[in-house]
């Protein structure tokens, strides 16, 4: 393949990654924004989404779309419910103390991950996509007769991958509508702005925290259900999304929805593109160092409010 | 008896007890204890920063691994003798901790944790990326013949045990002494109230900088000793898991206590040893222990003992 078609392919792959990353990171960002809790177990809720999707979809016979839709509806609920339990029995008990919640969620990370290993096992298993047509993409070049279109070998995508991108955009829009146009969103934003005043106005802050923590986990699980027909479900799959979400949330500005989405696009696309041309490990090294240095040199500049 | 004499007696008594244990225990437990002592050295290093200075690093595995790779690569690729390779490992860890400290200490609180986590992750990925030399995930084995000091083979269980005990004792005595000196008192001051310590005229940045370097260097020394004594170097030791372990050990044993790290490591080691006989998901125990500790016993084993019965425990 020439450079042009190769780049287009890389951009398409990057867009799928960015779409899923935006949803995952949004969950992390929401939880940090409203609750000021750094949820280290966030990647495990992503993994839960994929693993639960497999448990739901694999026993359902018939068209793969039935199982997939069931997983899309139920897996985020399961992950969200587990997150609510974590909030009630761990985070609330330590009164949302920043350091204690980090240590506590590290513990939760291992509990969820290892429980998945015991119940689901160490294998990687796929979920069948609801539809999967190969779509060949055209490329153009200047020939003797002007602009010529042709189909380069290997330049293709699948209808499912395009669906992932569209679905992620839809979910992001829905999220934006919930946050800015509904009463629930208003309550969440009020709690984020000023916990004490919200409490004084009769907002049940504790319940809002539970909902937000469950909602954040459900977003990660939803992203995982979308990606699981492309990547397989595995009990260690939460590690990379966690790391990338951290990167996105820090670069984008903690708690800021717009910043998170923009940064997810930036990081997801460049991760996809760099991985095609360079080694994926090298691109991850550069991204992690970049984040560390951003935090060191421009902590306020990029996320507005001070973290500590 | 003054508190000083009591704490000297406690530490020397502990070392004497360990010598006796090393002589009487069967080979299997002797080997376990050697490993526990080296890992406890790592935990002691972590405790200097977390327990005494109040800075929670989530990236200490990079210091442990820097010592390990510094020492292991010097022996494996450079063919250096054990003692100079150990030196190379310790210097590698010291230099890395200086660089990390200068950058990470510009942040505080949660940002400090994430910055250290990210640096450690970059270190881990670099170790994988340089697989040609480091062997990546699989790591490499240090030739048995080269693992000896002045004719004493470190592969012999008893020699290895005493070498591990020597490493542990040096770290234990250095930190125990340090906490009696004004320098250590200032570190505790930083932990309790950094603003007030600064108001009293202490240069808190310099103290924190030195704390990171001392902590990182002890951790790196433990890593170098691990490479020499157990003959294996691999990227696992640089992974997040090995940054979480010392946190767990210190929390369990008691943060800010001199003997807590050893108690924490020993307890966890045998717990995991027992659990991994039952299930391959033995890290579940680690998770449950972390959650239970955060919920119920933030002071840890030695910390609770100190709080309830023996207030003079160092």
pLDDT in tens, B198-252: 999 999 999 999 999 999 999 999 999 999 999 999 999 999 889 989 998 999 8
Pair A51, A233: CB distance under 8 Å: yes
Report pLDDT for A272.
77
Domain count, chain B: 1
State the DSSP code for A81: H
Interval A76-93: pLDDT, tens: 999 999 999 999 999 999
Q: Quote the CA–CA distance of B251 and B253 in Å, as a whole number.
A: 6
Domain that includes residue A74, residue range: 3-303
Which residues, other chains included, contact A123 with Cβ-Cβ below 8 Å and sequence gap of 6+?
Answer: A234
Q: Quote the CA–CA distance of A190 and B210 in Å, as a whole number.
A: 43
Residue B256 region, left (φ>0) first, then alpha (ψ -120 to 50), else beta?
left
Give the sign of the dihedral formed by CA B267, CA B118, CA B207, CA A101. Answer: negative
- The answer to whether position B278 is within a domain reads no
B251 chain-A contacts, CB cut-off 8 A:
103
Segment B77-101 mean pLDDT: 96
Prediction ipTM score: 0.84
B288 reaches A (C-beta below 8 A): yes
- The answer to whether position B262 is within a domain reads no
Q: Which residue of B has its CA nearest to A98?
A: B110
**Of how many residues is chain B composed?**
314
- The answer to whether position A308 is within a domain reads no
Q: Please identify among residues 236-265 of chain A the ones whose CB lies closer than 8 Å to any CB of chain B.
A: 239, 243, 246, 250
**Of how many residues is chain A composed?**
308
A95 reaches B (C-beta below 8 A): no
**B113–A102: do the CB atoms touch at under 8 Å?**
yes
The model's pTM is 0.86
A284 reaches B (C-beta below 8 A): yes
Task: For A263-300, give one letter per residue: b (16+ CB within 10 A) or e.
Answer: bbbebbbbbbbbbbeeeebebbbbbbbbbbebbbeebe
CB pairs under 8 A between A and B: 130
Domain that includes residue B148, residue range: 3-237
Q: Which residue of B has its CA nearest to A38?
A: B110
Report pLDDT for A306.
47
Q: Among residues B116, B122, B123, B121, which one has the least CA distance to residue B100?
A: B116
Report pLDDT for A307.
44
- The answer to whether position B276 is within a domain reads no
Which residues pair with residue A147 across a beta bridge?
A142
- The answer to whether position B280 is within a domain reads no
Distances (CA, A) of B174 to A205, B185, B216, B304: 48, 14, 14, 24
Report pLDDT for B3.
66
Q: Quote the CA–CA distance of B193 and B195 in Å, as a whole number.
A: 6
- The answer to whether position B106 is within a domain reads yes
**A296–B107: do the CB atoms touch at under 8 Å?**
yes
Structure tokens at B147: 């693992």
Pair A212, A84: CB distance under 8 Å: no
Domain count, chain A: 1
What CATH number corresponds to the domain at position A110? 1.10.3470
B280 reaches A (C-beta below 8 A): yes
Structure tokens at B63: 């210091």
- The answer to whether position B298 is within a domain reads no
Q: Give, for B9, the enclosing helix (H) or strand (E).
A: helix B3-24
**A293–B103: do the CB atoms touch at under 8 Å?**
yes
B125 chain-A contacts, CB cut-off 8 A:
281, 284-285, 288
Residue ranges of the alpha helices (H) in chain A?
Answer: 3-35, 42-57, 64-86, 98-120, 159-181, 183-193, 195-200, 205-227, 239-252, 257-277, 280-297, 299-303
Q: Quote the CA–CA distance of B251 and A181 in Å, as a whole number.
A: 45
**A94–B294: do the CB atoms touch at under 8 Å?**
yes
pLDDT < 70 regions, chain A: 1, 254-255, 299-308
Pair B156, B294: CB distance under 8 Å: no
| CB nearest B291 (choices: A108, A115, A282) | A108
Say yes or no to pLDDT of B195 above 80: yes
Interval B236-292: pLDDT, tens: 999 988 998 999 899 989 999 999 999 999 998 998 888 888 878 888 988 998 899
Structure tokens at B174: 């250095």
A85 reaches B (C-beta below 8 A): no
Mutation for B interface: A255, A281, A284, most B CBs within 10 A: A281
């Amino acid at each position: 393949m020439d450079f042009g078609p190769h780049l287009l392919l890389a951009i398409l792959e990057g867009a799928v990654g960015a779409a899923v990353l935006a949803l995952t990171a949004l969950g992390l960002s929401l939880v940090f924004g409203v609750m000021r809790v750094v949820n280290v177990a966030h990647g495990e809720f992503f993994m839960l989404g994929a693993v639960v999707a497999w448990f739901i979809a694999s026993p359902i016979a018939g068209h793969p779309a039935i199982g997939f839709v069931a997983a899309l509806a139920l897996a985020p609920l399961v992950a969200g419910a587990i997150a609510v339990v974590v909030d009630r029995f761990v985070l609330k008990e330590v009164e949302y103390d920043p350091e204690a919640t980090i240590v506590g969620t590290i513990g939760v990370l291992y509990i969820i991950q290892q429980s998945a290993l015991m119940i689901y096992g160490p294998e990687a298993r796929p979920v069948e996509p609801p539809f999967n047509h190969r779509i060949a993409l055209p490329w153009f070049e200047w020939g003797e007769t002007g602009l010529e279109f042709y189909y380069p070998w290997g330049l293709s995508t699948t209808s499912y991958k395009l669906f992932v991108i569209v679905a992620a955009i839809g979910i992001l829009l829905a999220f934006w509508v919930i946050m800015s146009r509904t009463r629930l969103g208003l309550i969440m934003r009020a709690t984020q702005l000023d916990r004490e005043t919200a409490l004084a106005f009769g907002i049940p802050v504790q319940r809002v925290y539970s909902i937000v923590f469950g909602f954040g986990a459900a977003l990660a699980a939803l992203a995982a259900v979308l990606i699981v027909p492309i990547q397989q479900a595995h009990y260690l799959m939460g590690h990379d999304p966690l790391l990338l979400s951290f990167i996105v949330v820090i670069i984008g500005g903690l708690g800021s929805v717009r910043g998170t989405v923009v940064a997810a696009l930036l990081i997801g696309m460049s991760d996809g593109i760099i991985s095609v041309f360079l080694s994926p490990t090298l691109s991850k090294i550069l991204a992690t160092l970049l984040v560390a240095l951003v935090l060191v040199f421009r902590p306020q500049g990029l996320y507005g409010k001070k973290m500590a | 008896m003054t508190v000083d004499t009591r704490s000297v007696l406690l530490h020397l008594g502990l070392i004497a007890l360990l010598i006796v244990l090393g002589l009487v225990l069967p080979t299997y437990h002797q080997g376990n204890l050697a490993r526990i002592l080296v890992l406890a050295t790592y935990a002691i290093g972590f405790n200097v920063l977390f327990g005494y200075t109040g800075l929670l690093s989530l990236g200490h595995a990079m210091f442990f691994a820097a010592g390990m790779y510094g020492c292991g690569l010097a022996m494996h690729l450079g063919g250096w003798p054990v003692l100079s390779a150990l030196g190379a490992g310790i210097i590698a860890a010291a230099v890395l901790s200086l660089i990390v400290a200068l950058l990470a200490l510009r942040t505080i609180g949660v940002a400090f944790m994430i910055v250290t986590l990210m640096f450690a992750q970059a270190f881990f990925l670099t170790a994988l990326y340089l697989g040609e030399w480091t062997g990546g995930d699989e790591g490499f084995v240090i030739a048995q013949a080269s693992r000896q000091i002045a004719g004493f083979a470190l592969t012999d269980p008893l020699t290895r045990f005493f070498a591990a005990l020597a490493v542990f004792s040096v770290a234990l005595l250095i930190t125990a002494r340090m906490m009696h000196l004004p320098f250590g008192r200032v570190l505790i001051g930083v932990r309790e109230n950094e603003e007030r310590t600064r108001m009293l005229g202490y240069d808190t940045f310099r103290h924190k900088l030195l704390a990171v370097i001392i902590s990182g260097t002890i951790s790196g020394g433990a890593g170098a000793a691990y490479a020499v004594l157990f003959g294996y170097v691999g990227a696992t030791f640089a992974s997040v898991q090995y940054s979480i372990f010392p946190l767990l050990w210190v929390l369990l044993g008691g943060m800010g206590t001199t003997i807590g790290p050893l108690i924490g490591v020993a307890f966890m080691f045998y717990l995991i040893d027992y659990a991994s006989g039952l299930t391959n998901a033995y890290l579940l125990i680690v998770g449950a222990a972390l959650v239970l500790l955060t919920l119920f016993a933030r002071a840890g084993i030695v910390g609770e003992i100190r709080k309830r019965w023996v207030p003079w425990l160092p």
